Amino acid sequence: MMSPTVTATAVFLSAAPSSSSTRRRRSRLAAISASLSPSSSSSEEPLLVRAARGEDGLPRPPAWMMRQAGRYMAEYQALAKRHPSFRERSEKTDLIVEITLQPWRAFAPDGVILFSDILTPLPAIGVPFDISDSKGPVIQSPVRSEDQVRQLVPIDLDKLHFVGESLRILRNEIDGKAALLGFVGAPWTIATYVVEGGMTNTYTNIKSMCHTAPNVLRGLLSHLAQAISDYIIYQVNSGAQCVQIFDSWGGQLPPHVWEQWSKPYIKQIVSRIKKECPHVPLVLYINGNGGLLERMKDTGVDVIGLDWTVDMADGRRRLGNGIGVQGNVDPAFLFSPLPVLTDEIHRVVKSAGPKGHILNLGHGVLQKTPEEAVAHFFDVTRSLRYDTLFQGSVAGELQAVA
């Protein structure tokens, strides 16, 4: 039986303005959904989950895009005019569901990622924040002392009820035709905002704390690791089938510093999730991760996301076939002629090999990206077949480079 929340949201969705382009997208989604293979039906696990686990014999790579829901879409821009506050859009259940479903209706990706923000859980641990149109996230009282760390509280998941409600509704709406993805920020990345008080280009406060106040920083990172672990479990229990960990600013650290100040806390999270939610694949993405790939593998995640500055063939060679890879088309290719985009998709897929690959961009969708190009990206992916791409080749088991 459908819950009251699901019923209310269904009414909201059916009452939302429906332009001719929206109607075309919905009919397009219906046509795509009708042609989906049985492996994408609600009776079996979605293609993306199976690829993340490294299953053999999949017909093609699954695909989704980081930031696939958002400001490049005209439908989102119209909604944002009606609801100009980002906090409202990312913290009201009906808006979260509607925004998350916009690219699903338009493009039918294999992964549908919750519309949210990595900072969303901060108020639930006692760190309030605002979002300024000009400055981005703003934390009025940066955490830089032992007393401030002691004042942090265990995560109050009741304050994040809209996340759980949205995931439950989305799981019902998608109905097994795609994987529902949750996501979190890694402790180091969340700590950069908490310590710096917002966005930064230099990271001087938090980097200096590694030497001037290491115990304070360890205490903060440990608290965040515990809270993020609880948050992932909450997302999984609410319907997320795969979770991506964004260590967005981990790439700003020298590799040996990342090894000391970020990796242990990611490993702590992964270890707990593998014990409590062993069926849920974990993806780790770091922007600027070319110098960190081998270290990332040691965190225990199932899939490593490559940014577009790493050659996919080189990344696969360095990581081996024992772990999945995600990515890594340069988002700028979506501004290229469509045949050029097609060739790049083929190149990346061939470089990744016929197992354990999730096709994605090497970073999020850029503003003003043509929606036609996004549609083409997913259309091309659906047309791919590993048996054709790798016909006559022997896909041997690659071992990681020592």
- Give the pLDDT band of residue 5 (cuts 50, 70, 90): very low
Chain centroid to Cα 121, Å, comes to 16
User: Please, what is the average pLDDT of the chain?
Assistant: 90
Q: Would the CA dihedral through 380, 382, 388, 390 be positive or negative?
A: positive
Instruction: Return the amino acid letter for 32.
Output: I
Q: Say yes or no to pLDDT of 391 above 90.
A: no
Are 139 and 194 in contact by the 8 Å Cβ rule? The answer is yes
Q: Say yes or no to pLDDT of 13 above 50.
A: no
What would the pLDDT profile of 219-251 be if each residue is shown by its tens digit?
Answer: 999 999 999 999 999 999 999 999 999 999 999
Q: What is the C-alpha separation between 246 and 387, in angstroms, rounded?
A: 33
pLDDT score recorded for residue 10: 41
Q: What is the C-alpha separation between 198 and 129, in angstroms, rounded?
A: 9
- The mean pLDDT value for 380-398 works out to 80
pLDDT score recorded for residue 29: 57
Cβ neighbours for 356, distance < 8 A, ≥ 6 positions apart: 51, 52, 54, 303, 321, 323, 324, 325
Phi and psi at residue 381, to the nearest 5°? -60, -45
Phi and psi at residue 48, to the nearest 5°? -65, -40
Cβ neighbours for 371, distance < 8 A, ≥ 6 positions apart: 72, 73, 74, 106
pLDDT score recorded for residue 216: 98
Are 324 and 400 in contact by the 8 Å Cβ rule? The answer is no
pLDDT score recorded for residue 25: 55
Question: Containing H/E element for 257?
Answer: helix 255-261
Phi and psi at residue 253, to the nearest 5°? -100, 145
- The mean pLDDT value for 139-148 works out to 96
- Give the pLDDT band of residue 44 (cuts 50, 70, 90): confident
- Does the reported pTM lie above 0.85? yes
Query: Which position has the higher pLDDT, 183 or 37?
Result: 183
Q: Say yes or no to pLDDT of 2 above 50.
A: no
Instruction: Report the range of poorest mean pLDDT among 19-33, 78-92, 101-115, 386-400.
Output: 19-33
Q: Say yes or no to pLDDT of 4 above 80.
A: no
- Give the pLDDT band of residue 32 (cuts 50, 70, 90): low
Q: What is the C-alpha separation between 353 and 368, in angstroms, rounded?
A: 31
Q: What is the C-alpha separation between 324 and 247, in angstroms, rounded?
A: 17
pLDDT score recorded for residue 120: 98
Are 225 and 265 in contact by the 8 Å Cβ rule? The answer is yes
- Give the pLDDT band of residue 146 (cuts 50, 70, 90): very high
Nearest by Cα to 375 from 108, 74, 27: 108
Question: Containing H/E element for 358?
Answer: strand 357-361
Q: Say yes or no to pLDDT of 393 above 70.
A: no
Nearest by Cα to 5 from 81, 97, 143, 70: 97
Q: Which pair of tokens denotes residue 59?
A: 């017909």
